[in-house]
Amino acid sequence: MAMKLIRSNWTEKISCPKYGRMEITLPIKNEENTSIEITGPDGLKETIPSYLDQPAEFRMDQHGYEALETAGEPCRRFRYTPERPGSYRWQAVDCPEISGSFFCTESEEPGYVQVSQKDPRYFACTSGASYVPIGPNACILRYDALPRGEEHFATGDQYATLGISLYRRWFAQMRDAGVNYTRLWLSSVYLNTRTRYPGRHDLAKFHRLDTVMELAREYGIRVKLCLEHFRCFGPSPDDLTKPSFVKELWDERTHQPYQPEQGRMEEWLTSPYWNQKWQEDIEPYLARYANDPIVFAWELWNEMDCVAAPYEQALDFTSRMAQWLRSRSPRNMICNSTGSFDWEGKIKALRQMASHPALDFGQFHRYVDQGAKMEICHADALELAADGVRQMSVEGRPVILNETGAVNDCHTGPFRFYPMDHAGTILNDVTYAPFFAGAAGSGHSWHWEYYVDPQELWQNYQPLIQLLQGIQVDEEAFETFEMSMESVRLLGLRGRKHTLLYVRSAADRWDRLFRDQQPAVPVENLHLPFSSQRTQIIGLREDEHLNGCYELSADQLQLPAFSHGFVARLEAKA
């Protein structure tokens, strides 16, 4: 999918393709919400909210830093995605004289992503085409601390960001690589529109999110929208150069900060009043993006098991808010996430969320982390990713490695060896291994701005994208298998029509190459015991010249020497 939002004034007659997205501006200036009743070509009616929008525009200073300025008076709009070709009518519920019509044309757009009805371990679009989410996170923008004066090295309390220019760069690189997925934090500094009073928003800041989402729409990148990431209450931090997990909240009843003991969240999670206020905070996002095909899923919280409250309360909150979200955006999936899977004591809690009946699929986070309690997190990125999928998989639903990569001990920063990893050795393992171990998508790397982008690793996603072209993943009934040999590690999916392989040199590991400074070891005379009518090989590195179709000799796949790895697609014999 790759299209643009269709914008129109309420008096204009427009057409919109099936599963396209349209935005209509209304002649209503008040701040009171006005619902819109839409009648489809089959006579069925549905009611959707409108929203108040403050037009804005970006300005760049001489340093390239971004500023946001209002550009005109606020106006009221609504957005809609038609699903059936034909004529539609709409009218404002409170102002029936404000009405209009539009026509929905046929299109080849695949529609929404949902859990496949053919194989619930995978995703498919409304059209029936299978969908495998492949891509990194792009959740936040970093801010720079500005100088305090003319003194060298001294910074003050002002911060700035390059802003939308970074998203333009990242999304363009994703498009060129064929990436079809990313994730955003709506509560991050750059994308957050909320104020310290719940339900009150800085409307101009929606221009940032709208611009990012329209880039994604134009480039065919579906987006998981994560609504929250805070873990406790307290004063807003002064340093914007680091993500904060503290939320400053004010109570409109007292006009005082909400200050529970030690910033804990028990009351907030369980209070009907605060639950309603949180919903008021989220409603403007839903008015813009509910039932939008570009939304892969709504994610309630980043790492919700880490909030300052008993986990049972987090699970109960998940149940209530997932049900509420589904009532507002029934065509989009809903999920939630938990903290890094790095010690045995978390397994039960992580599986509870991954199998939560109010959610559509399971997720987990896992990183290479030598400070972790689990030994498996200390070294081989392939094994930690594959093992995580095996342990977090729940029968009859998809599972996703939602965040992954490598960190300095105990998540104290991006991995110290990233600057050495010019080929993406770590990225390949955490991206490819989850899918070949049975996940519904690739692993979704963190550190896109510290690792993927500066090392120019965007093209590392292409072999997996190319491998899956033309394969209906949810029709294969894939079964996972592994093969360990002295020279290679192999993960595979054996299906009805295809067998897919991820083969990596056993020596192509970060600890050996970067920490121990050992040279790459060529794998020579590799023979793999597979029979196939046709075998396609795609190398993880172009300079190894592995790409092509290979013949099998005596049910053995014979390959030239390589030092890194490849993916393979074997077609079953008739």
User: What percentage of the chain exceeds 90 in pLDDT?
Assistant: 87
Residue 557 is classified by DSSP as E
Query: H-helix or E-strand containing 9?
Result: strand 6-9
Q: How many residues does the chain have?
A: 574
Q: What pLDDT, in 10s, does the model give residues 547-559? A: 887 766 656 777 7
Query: H-helix or E-strand containing 176?
Result: helix 164-177
Contact between residue 217 and residue 292 where contact means Cβ atoms under 8 Å apart? no
* pLDDT for the residue numbered 556: 73
What do you get for the CA distance between the two ends of the chain, in Å? 33
Q: What pLDDT, in 10s, does the model give residues 329-355? A: 999 999 999 999 999 999 999 999 999
* pLDDT for the residue numbered 574: 63
Q: Provide the pairing of β-strand 14-17 with 99-105.
A: parallel
Query: H-helix or E-strand containing 433?
Result: helix 425-436
Give the CA dihedral 438, 442, 447, 449, nearest 10 degrees: 180
277 Cβ partners below 8 Å, 6+ apart? 198, 199
Residues 406 and 433: their CA atoms lie apart, in Å, by 15
What tokens does 296 get? 């892969």
* pLDDT for the residue numbered 547: 85
Q: Please identify every stretch of the chain with a pLDDT value under 70, giving residue numbers as ranges.
A: 1-2, 30-31, 551-555, 574
Q: Provide the pairing of β-strand 232-233 with 222-226.
A: unpaired
291 Cβ partners below 8 Å, 6+ apart? 48, 81, 329, 330, 331, 332
| Signed CA dihedral, 233, 236, 239, 243: sign only | positive
Q: How far is CA 564 from the centre of its chain?
A: 28
126 Cβ partners below 8 Å, 6+ apart? 19, 83, 110, 111, 112, 114
Query: Exposed, middle or buried: residue 196 (CB in 10 Å: 0-12, 13-18, 19+)?
Result: middle
Collect contacts of 84-90 with beta carbons under 8 A, ≥24 apart. Answer: 84/18, 84/40, 84/41, 84/42, 85/18, 85/41, 86/40, 86/41, 86/42, 87/41, 88/38, 88/39, 88/40, 88/41, 89/38, 89/39, 90/24, 90/36, 90/37, 90/38, 90/39
Residues 433 and 393: their CA atoms lie apart, in Å, by 14
- Closest-CA residue to 304 (of 290, 315, 293, 295): 315
